[in-house]
């Protein structure tokens, strides 16, 4: 059995800025751009429903999608993130890539997660019962995941939230733990994640070509799967930092820098040298 290569990890503070030289990053190729939503396209806020895309960022995404493939890859439900973005020329991979849609009435659910739906239903019910007495704890049910948020929980109750969640996970071997910023997720216990979703989209959209390079922008621990998958094949850009080392090769400091980078990328792709390149969507 072939052993997968271990991704090289870096200290986020040592990464070069992705803003400095876009032509060097692209190596003369056209990018296929994949982005997380929260923390990349919008700031992280206490209430996930209030993470609203700015009109400026929306316009930037729309313009970029006119010159290269663009997909939002999120832990959010696909329908939720698609509603927040409201652009019909983008692809959306929700629930960490278990639910994907896009132009041309594309809609598919790769990864085999449907078998985990009964376990997710039962775990969601138990978690809501057992965490209802803890102020600030929020159990967010998604189609193929459950997010237990403890960002607004008092410090002396955080360990209780973690223990209850761990106990529920132990009761459902069909599910596995996923970690994020102040979030514990229960996800189908399958070999599928954001990185696999990116590779699936590259294959499905016929983007595995010598003149196309995948570029992934993310800020969270869950984005590390995509950074790892793209090492040696594409570009990984970490936004800010998280509590671990990263498999990304470049960095952007903030949502504002993400927008600036996307704008510069669009300008680069619309220069005379690139204007004639076909959009592969």
The upper half-sphere exposure of residue 105, i.e. CA atoms within 13 Å in the direction of its Cβ, equals 0
In contact, 94 and 142? CB cutoff 8 Å: yes
Pick from 164, 194, 186, 189: nearest CA to 120: 186
In sequence order, the β-bridge partners of residue 217 are: 35, 237
Torsions phi, psi for 146 (to 5 deg): -125, 125
> How far is the C-alpha of 184 from the C-alpha of 10, rounded, in Å?
24
Positions marked catalytic: 36
The backbone region for 86, taken as left when phi is positive above 0, alpha when psi lies in -120 to 50, beta otherwise, is: left
Pick from 7, 4, 141, 134: nearest CA to 79: 141
The backbone region for 202, taken as left when phi is positive above 0, alpha when psi lies in -120 to 50, beta otherwise, is: alpha
In sequence order, the β-bridge partners of residue 183 are: 149, 180
């Amino acid at each position: 059995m072939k052993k997968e290569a271990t991704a090289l990890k870096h200290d986020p503070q040592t990464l070069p800025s992705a803003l400095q030289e876009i032509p060097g990053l692209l190596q003369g190729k056209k990018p296929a751009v994949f982005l997380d939503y929260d923390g990349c396209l919008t700031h992280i806020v206490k209430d996930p429903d209030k993470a609203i895309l700015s009109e400026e960022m929306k316009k930037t995404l729309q313009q970029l999608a006119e010159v290269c493939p663009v997909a939002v890859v999120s832990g959010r439900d696909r329908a939720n993130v698609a509603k927040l973005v409201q652009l019909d020329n983008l692809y959306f991979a929700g629930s960490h890539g278990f639910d994907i849609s896009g132009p041309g009435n594309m809609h598919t659910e790769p990864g085999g997660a449907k078998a985990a739906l009964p376990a997710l239903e039962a775990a969601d019910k138990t978690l809501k019962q057992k965490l209802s007495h803890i102020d600030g704890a929020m159990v967010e049910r998604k189609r193929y995941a459950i997010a237990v948020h403890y960002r607004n929980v008092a410090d002396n109750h955080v360990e209780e939230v973690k223990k209850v969640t761990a106990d529920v996970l132990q009761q459902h071997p069909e599910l596995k733990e996923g970690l994020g910023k102040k979030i514990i997720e229960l996800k189908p216990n399958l070999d599928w994640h954001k990185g696999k979703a990116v590779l699936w989209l590259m294959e499905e959209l016929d983007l595995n070509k010598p003149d196309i390079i995948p570029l992934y922008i993310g800020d969270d621990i869950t984005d590390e799967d995509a950074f790892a998958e793209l090492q040696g094949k594409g570009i990984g850009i970490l936004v800010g930092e998280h509590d671990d080392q990263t498999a990304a090769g470049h960095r952007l400091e903030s949502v504002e820098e993400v927008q600036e980078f996307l704008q510069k990328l669009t300008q680069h792709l619309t220069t005379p040298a690139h204007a004639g390149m076909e959009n592969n969507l």
